[in-house]
């Protein structure tokens, strides 16, 4: 018996020894600590100076020709700013009451000179030689001598718009007609010509905006009926008429190298401003249009790579925005409201004039000037490091591996639904590895996260609240309003809210612990514009326990899988189709509701249109019937296969539903949505 016990113990000991040997043989080698490098984030344009225009003794009185109700309170906003084309230290500003100030950018306290335009809401501009300053508004244009500040001469004009020829010898103005003036003797302005209208081309109505090309060959004018006439400046012959659909022109600008002409303004059939429309002058074709909020004015950078739009409406758009001239891609924005902007002659500095009477100077970074910061259709990785903590070992390797696994997940899901192995792209370095940026909690730099899509990674998910408030995510995860027929309206007891678009620039967060295939793929849904899809928690603890075990199995994780509608949506997503143009035409969406039969089922009918072609629409219904406008859940989808106009229907049986949202993705990956609210007949006015 004793020998049996000894033998049994020896067997157990042998098994233990074998187990230990197998463990040491099969265990993975110690993880090699690899050196980690992180990419440097670009910074936002730097605010380098502020000038307070204020009021002066000669502008305390209301300007002549001021509209009824105009008060000194209305004089504060800056209506126009300009950089001298020959003196990089000289800028000019004018407020709503006609007070003009010349500033040296190195002295923010006192202006060099103070002038006065006899009218409200004027605009200003230097002549190409920098010797003259013109101010125009409410019936008068004045030429000023910049050196002395003396008034040289004036002429009558009903609009604020004017333009100099490149040599500074001539000046164009607009009112009921386009007039060209000889200003070689600025003390005696002489009219040269009045450009003819062409009734056959409907160039009627008053002229609103004018510009002259940098080569001096072309002059263009925008009219109140939406047409733009382009003439040969020398022969005065009409070269081309462009149709815009705008009923009022706020601005018209040739690009510095005369490759493009851009116009913008309001269309009274729609709601608010339309953004800008650009034509390629080599073939007179539309180069593109950006319709993402109000634009008061637009300027080109001297190298013609960037155009910058000014906007003083906080509810529509994102302040001063920078766009790629080539494809309309958003580059960055300044969180300041401005009616006008102007570039320095070298393109490095931008001056803006704001609603509060403040002139600001902004210095652009080399990345922004070279357009190297904008890759809107790829996912970028950023690690957020709290103060006092160290970077996890081999973090960059783990991030590279995890994001590739998430890529494979989406490729598998797209293939499962018959859309091929399409997947998203992420930013890589020169070695083809994931490029990872680092932000420390004690960082003092103003990093530019604008317009990019970021995967923010934290070592611990509970660090989110301590880090997020120190991260400048202004402009991320936001929407804008498209110009729509009538804006928000009530039609047949249905409230149509504004049509919203999604601004480029998203950020989603995860933790190092969740850098796994399915959890990471699920987090990225929001970045790709997929609908909110809440994970339903099992209330029973025992069932919840077995559900977690099931999720570990190969057949588990159903919550992460894509539906057919979701895969179809991603098929035209920008992230799955990089290098799409960012120019975008506004969509239209209208809803009607009717009873289907004697039951409570209702037919929700939508008339939708988009000149870019529509790929898919999705309908969302409330999650909580008591708070129907708070959150919505996905209901159903319809494929549209590139149609520019379509009628779609959804049947809903729940009679309590009073609010729905329709989302649409077009053939270029642009997303639009509109909320509809069914109102009682007694609410209709």
Mean pLDDT throughout 424-437?
Answer: 93
- In the chain, the percentage of residues whose pLDDT exceeds 70 is 79
Q: What pLDDT is attached to residue 271? A: 46
Q: What pLDDT is attached to residue 205? A: 60
Q: What pLDDT is attached to residue 685? A: 41
Mean pLDDT throughout 96-115?
Answer: 93
Question: Is 436 a residue whose pLDDT tops 50?
Answer: yes
Question: Is 253 a residue whose pLDDT tops 70?
Answer: yes
Higher-confidence position of 469 and 358: 358
Mean pLDDT throughout 81-85?
Answer: 97
Q: What pLDDT is attached to residue 298? A: 94
Question: Is 554 a residue whose pLDDT tops 80?
Answer: no
Q: Which of 612, 619, 620, 618 is nearest to 666 (CA)?
A: 612
356 DSSP 8-state letter: T
Alpha-carbon radius of gyration of the chain: 31
Q: What pLDDT is attached to residue 340? A: 94
Report how far residue 180's alpha carbon sits from residue 172's, in angstroms, rounded to the nearest whole number.
4
pTM of the predicted protein model: 0.84
| Domain chopping of the chain, boundaries | 46-369, 379-479+505-568
Q: Any idea which of 90-94, 102-106, 289-293 has the lowest mean pLDDT?
A: 289-293
**219 vs 1, 85, 161, 215, 222, CA distance in Å?**
114, 20, 13, 10, 10
Q: What pLDDT is attached to residue 43? A: 86
* Cβ partners under 8 Å of residue 11, min gap 6: none
| Cβ atoms of residues 676 and 497 within 8 Å | yes
| Cβ atoms of residues 435 and 428 within 8 Å | yes
Q: What pLDDT is attached to residue 682? A: 46
Q: Which of 657, 655, 661, 590 is nearest to 620 (CA)?
A: 661
Mean predicted lDDT score pLDDT of the chain = 84
Between vectors from CA 110 to CA 105 and to CA 111, what angle results, nearest 5°? 65
Question: Is 177 a residue whose pLDDT tops 80?
Answer: yes
Higher-confidence position of 2 and 607: 607
Q: Any idea which of 409-418, 431-440, 573-582, 607-616 has the lowest mean pLDDT?
A: 573-582
Q: Any idea which of 479-488, 509-518, 557-566, 609-618 has the lowest mean pLDDT?
A: 479-488
Between vectors from CA 323 to CA 576 and to CA 525, what angle results, nearest 5°? 30
Under the banding of pLDDT at 50, 70 and 90, the label for residue 555 is very low
pLDDT digits (tens, 9 = 90+) for 128-167: 999 999 999 878 999 999 999 999 999 988 788 999 999 9
Q: Which of 301, 379, 386, 377 is nearest to 343 (CA)?
A: 301
Q: What pLDDT is attached to residue 406? A: 96
Under the banding of pLDDT at 50, 70 and 90, the label for residue 441 is confident
Question: Is 201 a residue whose pLDDT tops 60?
Answer: no
CA dihedral 83, 85, 89, 95 (to 10 degrees): -20
Higher-confidence position of 201 and 447: 447
Q: What pLDDT is attached to residue 267? A: 60
* Sheet architecture: strand order including 248-254: 248-254, 260-266, 273-280, 285-290
Mean pLDDT throughout 306-310?
Answer: 92
pLDDT digits (tens, 9 = 90+) for 504-526: 778 888 999 889 999 999 999 98
Q: Copy the structure tokens of residue 373.
A: 């910061």
pLDDT digits (tens, 9 = 90+) for 637-648: 999 999 999 999
Higher-confidence position of 57 and 554: 554
Q: What pLDDT is attached to residue 652? A: 92
| Cβ atoms of residues 467 and 384 within 8 Å | yes
Question: Is 245 a residue whose pLDDT tops 60?
Answer: yes
**Sign of the four-CA dihedral 573, 575, 401, 465:** negative
Q: Any idea which of 273-282, 513-522, 545-554 has the lowest mean pLDDT?
A: 545-554
> Which range, 53-62, 187-196, 484-493, 551-560, has the best average confidence (pLDDT)?
187-196
Q: Which CATH superfamily is domain 46-369 in?
A: YVTN repeat-like/Quinoprotein amine dehydrogenase (2.130.10.10)
Q: Copy the structure tokens of residue 648.
A: 């779609």
Question: Is 170 a residue whose pLDDT tops 70?
Answer: yes
**632 vs 497, 534, 615, 658, CA distance in Å?**
15, 10, 21, 12
Element (H, E) at 5: helix 2-26
- In the chain, the percentage of residues whose pLDDT exceeds 90 is 49
């Amino acid at each position: 018996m004793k020998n049996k016990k000894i033998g049994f113990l020896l067997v157990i000991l042998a098994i233990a020894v074998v187990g230990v040997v197998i463990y040491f043989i099969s265990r993975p080698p110690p993880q090699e600590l690899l050196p980690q490098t992180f990419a440097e984030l670009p910074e936002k344009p730097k605010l380098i100076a502020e000038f307070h225009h204020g009021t002066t003794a000669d502008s305390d009185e209301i300007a002549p020709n001021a509209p009824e109700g105009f008060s000194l309170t209305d004089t504060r906003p800056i209506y126009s700013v300009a950089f001298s084309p020959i003196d990089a230290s000289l800028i000019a500003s004018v407020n709503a009451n006609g007070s003009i100030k010349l500033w040296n950018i190195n002295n923010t306290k006192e202006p060099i000179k103070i002038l006065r335009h006899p009218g409200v809401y004027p605009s200003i501009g230097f002549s190409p030689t920098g010797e003259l300053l013109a101010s125009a508004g409410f019936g008068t244009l004045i030429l000023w001598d910049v050196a002395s500040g003396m008034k040289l001469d004036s002429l009558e004009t009903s609009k604020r718009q004017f333009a100099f020829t490149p040599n500074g010898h001539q000046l164009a103005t607009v009112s009921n007609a386009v007039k060209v003036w000889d200003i070689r003797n600025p003390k005696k302005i002489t009219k040269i010509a009045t450009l003819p209208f062409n009734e056959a081309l409907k160039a009627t109505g008053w002229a609103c905006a004018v510009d002259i090309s940098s080569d001096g060959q072309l002059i263009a004018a925008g009219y109140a009926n939406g047409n733009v006439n382009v003439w040969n400046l020398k022969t005065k012959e009409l070269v081309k008429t462009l149709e815009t659909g705008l009923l009022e022109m706020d601005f018209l600008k040739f690009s510095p190298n005369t490759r493009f002409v851009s116009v913008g303004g309001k269309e009274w059939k729609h709601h608010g401003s339309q953004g800008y429309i650009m034509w390629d002058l080599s073939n007179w074709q539309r180069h593109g249009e950006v319709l993402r909020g109000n634009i008061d004015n637009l300027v080109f950078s001297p190298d013609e790579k960037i155009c910058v739009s000014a906007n003083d409406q906080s509810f529509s758009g994102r302040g001063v925005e920078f766009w790629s001239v080539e494809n309309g891609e958003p580059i960055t924005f300044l969180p300041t409201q401005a009616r006008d902007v102007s570039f320095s002659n070298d393109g490095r500095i931008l001056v803006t004039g704001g609603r509060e009477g403040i002139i600001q100077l902004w210095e652009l970074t080399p990345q922004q000037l070279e357009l190297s910061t904008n890759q809107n259709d790829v996912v970028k990785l950023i690690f957020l490091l709290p103060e006092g903590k160290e970077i996890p070992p081999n973090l960059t390797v783990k991030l590279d591996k995890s994001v590739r696994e998430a890529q494979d997940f989406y490729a598998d899901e797209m293939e499962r639904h018959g859309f091929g192995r399409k997947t998203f792209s992420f930013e890589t370095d020169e070695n083809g590895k994931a490029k990872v940026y680092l932000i420390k909690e004690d960082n003092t730099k103003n990093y530019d996260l604008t317009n990019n899509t970021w995967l923010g990674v934290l070592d611990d998910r509970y660090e989110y609240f301590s880090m997020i408030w120190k991260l400048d995510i202004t402009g991320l995860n936001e929407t804008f309003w498209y110009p729509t027929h009538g804006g928000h309206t009530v039609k047949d007891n249905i409230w149509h809210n504004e049509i919203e678009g999604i601004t480029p620039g998203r950020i989603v967060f995860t933790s190092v612990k969740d850098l796994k295939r399915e959890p990471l793929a699920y987090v990225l849904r929001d970045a790709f514009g997929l609908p909110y899809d809440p994970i339903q928690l099992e209330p029973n603890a025992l069932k919840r326990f077995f559900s977690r075990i099931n999720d570990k199995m190969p057949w588990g994780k159903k919550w992460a899988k894509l539906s057919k509608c979701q895969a179809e949506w991603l098929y035209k997503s920008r992230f799955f189709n990089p290098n799409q143009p960012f120019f975008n035409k506004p969509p239209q969406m209208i809803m009607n509701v009717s009873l289907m039969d004697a039951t409570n089922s209702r037919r929700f009918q939508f008339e939708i249109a988009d000149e870019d072609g529509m790929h898919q629409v999705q309908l969302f219904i409330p999650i909580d019937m008591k708070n129907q406008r708070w959150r919505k859940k996905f209901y159903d989808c319809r494929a549209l296969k590139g149609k520019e106009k379509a009628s779609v229907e959804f049947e809903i049986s729940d009679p309590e539903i009073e609010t729905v949202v329709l989302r649409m993705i077009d053939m270029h990956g642009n997303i639009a949505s509109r909320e509809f609210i069914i109102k009682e007949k007694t609410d209709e006015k």
